[in-house]
Amino acid sequence: MRHIAIVGSGPAGYYTAEAMLKAFGDDVRIDIFDLLPVPFGLIRSGVAPDHQSIKAVSRRYEKVALAENVRFVGNVAVGRDVTIEELRGLYDALVLATGAPRDRALGIPGEDHHNVFGSAEFVGWYNGHPQFARMDPDLSGKRAAIIGMGNVALDVARILAKTHGEFTGSDIVKHALKALNASNIEHIMIIGRRGPHQIAMTPKELGEIGELERAAPLVHQTDLPEPEADEALEPGQRKSVAHLRSFAALDDAARAAKPVTIEFVFNAMSKELYGSERVEEIELERTRLVDGRSMGTGETFRMPVDLVVSCIGYRTLRIPGVPFDEEAGRFANEEGRIALDPGLGGLYCVGWARRGPTGTIGTNRPDGYALAQMIEADMAAEAPGEKQGRAGFDALAAERGLDVVNFRDWQRIDAAETAAAREGSPREKFVDVEAMIKARD
Ligand code: NAP
């Protein structure tokens, strides 16, 4: 029997579990740990609440969680409630699928002003992640700056721009819906340090910005390269740029019909944030491209802002005892292997914790399957040990008085969230751990 522990119940964790089940069949026991009493990580707390079709993938993960030899072990903080060394002593392989839940810093003066957030915080707020649910951003001002030109920037812009009616069918949490209903934001700038050809926005997501009820996109024609230059782009990027071109072609009357503007500001690097009680101004430096990189030109300008959300990528959270690549912001690893010690088995990472915050949910599938293959090969080189696996963890949890939440418990929490849903919404999420635990009991 092989005992596997996976830390993190998001996409990377589940695809790895699915692959391990296929590889080892009945000869494996898999425990999937999570810090929260609720599973699915990024699917629940990262994917935008109005992108329910993407969230539907959790049904596939449910099937894995309900397999006889798989357990969900929620409400356990690895690194605090139980150490990496302890888990390595109990399981034949330990896989860290903990994602990248922290914001990369902009690293500019004024970043700590009130009403300046990273996207992990802001997305966590509207998605009801217990850590960020009480954040309470001030939406009473008119101008928001979103820094970065990736899909997360689009998520944040779209959520800030939508009407109450456009959230029908979403699982946006009620505190965020209430705040957004009362929002005064009418000018949203999406600020990129490079140009239209270098955006990291995918066509479908960018297209949604052109279809909002009360918001119109604004792209300045003068920012766009000559149309012929698009021919050199790969097809997906060309489609995205085609959206930018169609936004630039909107006439003033079409834009004036909508009270909210989403303006794309290209070739501008954030230099400093100013304000007293809350952020009031952003200073930007014009950039130009040199060998594909943005270089400051020395020309600076300031714009008034009342809210800033930087959407410039994420970092994995360190866990004591796990080597960390500080520059890349993820665990130090080779193709997913962090350490392999005779007798102690392997320590691995997968998904964003392995490769950094890139790719779609689906990218984690081949990642999980490749890691399972590596683990299988590593294990083949060593006879099964005498690890205690889950029985050993249960004894340790009992000794420490850990309040472990299992998958059946989650199903009770899930049922309570579904029952509490407002009309047209799939669920009303619990946004603090105590409420989740109470719903289980
Ligand atoms: P991303 O795609 O890597 O985009 C990050 C953006 O931030 C880029 O425009 C980047 O510009 C910019 N940036 C980085 N450092 C910066 C700095 N110091 N100053 C100014 N700008 C900076 O990251 P993301 O938007 O966080 O998304 C993460 C992953 O999740 C991506 O793979 C994304 O596609 C995926 N995702 C998918 C969906 C969806 O499919 N619906 C939704 C959300 C997220 P440079 O290019 O110049 O570095």
pLDDT value at residue 384: 65
pLDDT value at residue 232: 96
Q: What is the residue with the minimal CA distance to atom 9 of ligand 1? A: 149
**pTM > 0.85:** yes
Q: What is the residue with the minimal CA distance to atom 1 of ligand 1? A: 150
| Residue 362 near ligand 1, beta carbon < 6 Å | no
Q: Which atom of ligand 1 is nearest to the CA of 314?
A: 26
Query: What values do phi and psi take at 374, rounded to 5?
Result: -65, -45
In order of 205, 228, 231, 242, the CA distances from 235 in angstroms are 15, 14, 9, 10
Where the chain has pLDDT below 70, the residues are: 384-385
Q: Which atom of ligand 1 is nearest to the CA of 199?
A: 9
| Residue 313 near ligand 1, beta carbon < 6 Å | yes
Choice from 45, 117, 149 to test ligand 1 binding pocket (greatest atom count within 8 A of CB) = 149
Q: d(Cα 346, Cα 337) in Å, to the nearest integer?
A: 7
Q: What distance in angstroms lies between residue 146's CA and the mean position of ligand 1's atoms?
A: 12
CB distance 254 to 280 below 8 Å: no
pLDDT value at residue 344: 86
| Residue 205 near ligand 1, beta carbon < 6 Å | yes
Q: What distance in angstroms lies between residue 313's CA and the mean position of ligand 1's atoms?
A: 6
Choice from 116, 193, 240, 316 to test ligand 1 binding pocket (greatest atom count within 8 A of CB) = 193
Query: Rg of the chain's alpha carbons, rounded to an integer?
Result: 23
Query: What values do phi and psi take at 321, rounded to 5?
Result: 95, 0
pLDDT value at residue 345: 85
